[in-house]
């Protein structure tokens, strides 16, 4: 007759208790630092928003009410993301597709041979770019020239439609405004040693951008006369 099986060696061993005192001390320090808000460069009142406070209490109460001496994976994951969101609010929108919106150009005819771009200054300000740089790019892409009138409107030589101006502005935004790493529009355009650099304020990346070079422009009678006067 065969001997009965002995299952004593297959019993689960009880895990040793883990000392969480160090972790709880760090957690208390984190909670104290979270009570301080910076408002316009000055220390604000020491209080939390009610939603954050209630949520934090619920998580702690949920853990204390059990006989567990450990956090579950889901609890740890939620705590990590909560701390990340509190420390870096911009991460809440990370991974989302960003759209850059801007007001449409106000374009109108001025006679038969000129076009007025009325809000070029406003659009340049919204893009945080110098109007001179935007105007230079417009003239290069359209192969024309122009001037600023007394009302700060751009008078362009030639007849152009609104969709043509919009297409040029889109190319300008892609080349001189949008960060190619994170697609953010929060960028700065600087010039050093005859080179232009585009620095992103969101991700910190820096890349060089090509200088604007004027293309071919046909010599007209007016241009030849102006050159002779010069």
pLDDT tens track for 115-159 = 999 999 999 999 999 999 999 999 999 999 999 998 889 999 999
Ranking 37-46, 76-85, 177-186, 196-205 by mean pLDDT, the lowest is 37-46
Name the β-bridge partners of 189. Answer: 198
In the predicted model, what is the mean pLDDT of residues 4-10?
A: 54
pLDDT of amino acid 225:
60
How far from 78 is each of 54, 55, 83, 91, 160, CA to CA, in Å?
15, 11, 9, 15, 55
| CA-derived radius of gyration, the chain | 32
Do 55 and 48 touch, CB atoms closer than 8 A?
Answer: no
In the predicted model, what is the mean pLDDT of residues 96-116?
A: 83
Q: Is residue 215 pLDDT above 60, yes or no?
A: no
Do 62 and 72 touch, CB atoms closer than 8 A?
Answer: no
Confidence of residue 16 (pLDDT cuts 50, 70, 90): low
Mean pLDDT (the chain, rounded): 74
How far from 49 is each of 35, 38, 52, 79, CA to CA, in Å?
9, 14, 6, 17
Q: Report the SS3 class of residue 188.
A: strand
* Domain residue extents for the chain: 21-86, 107-215
Q: Is residue 179 pLDDT above 70, yes or no?
A: yes
Q: Which fold does the domain 107-215 belong to in CATH?
A: Defensin A-like (3.30.30)
Retrieve residue 101's tokens.
């919106």
Q: Is residue 66 pLDDT above 80, yes or no?
A: no
pLDDT of amino acid 88:
72
pTM to 2 decimal places:
0.54
In the predicted model, what is the mean pLDDT of residues 159-187?
A: 91
Measure the CA–CA gap between 125 and 138, rounded to whole angstroms.
16
**b/e sequence 61-96, b meaning 16+ C-beta within 10 Å:** eeeeeeeeeeeeeeeeeeeeeeeeeeeeeeeeeeee
Retrieve residue 33's tokens.
């630092």
If one compares 130 and 34, the residue with the highest pLDDT of the two is 130
């Amino acid at each position: 007759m065969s001997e009965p099986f002995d299952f004593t060696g297959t019993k689960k061993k009880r895990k040793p208790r883990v000392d969480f005192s160090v972790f709880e001390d760090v957690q208390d320090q984190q909670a104290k630092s979270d009570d301080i808000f910076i408002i316009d460069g000055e220390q604000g009142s020491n209080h939390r928003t009610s939603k954050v406070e209630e949520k934090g209490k619920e998580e702690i109460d949920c853990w204390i009410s059990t006989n567990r001496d450990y956090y579950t994976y889901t609890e740890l994951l939620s705590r990590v993301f909560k701390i990340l969101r509190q420390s870096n609010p911009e991460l809440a929108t990370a991974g989302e597709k960003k759209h850059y919106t801007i007001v449409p150009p106000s374009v109108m005819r001025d006679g038969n041979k000129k076009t007025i771009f009325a809000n070029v200054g406003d659009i340049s300000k919204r893009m945080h770019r110098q109007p001179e740089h935007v105007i230079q790019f417009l003239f290069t892409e359209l192969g024309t020239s122009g001037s600023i009138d007394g009302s700060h409107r751009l008078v362009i030589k030639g007849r152009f439609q609104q969709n043509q101006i919009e297409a040029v502005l889109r190319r300008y935004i892609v080349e001189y405004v949008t960060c190619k790493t994170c697609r953010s529009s929060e960028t700065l355009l600087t010039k050093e040693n005859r080179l232009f650099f585009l620095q992103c304020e969101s991700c910190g990346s820096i890349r060089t951008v090509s200088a604007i070079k004027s293309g071919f422009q046909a010599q007209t009678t007016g241009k030849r006369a102006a050159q002779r006067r010069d």
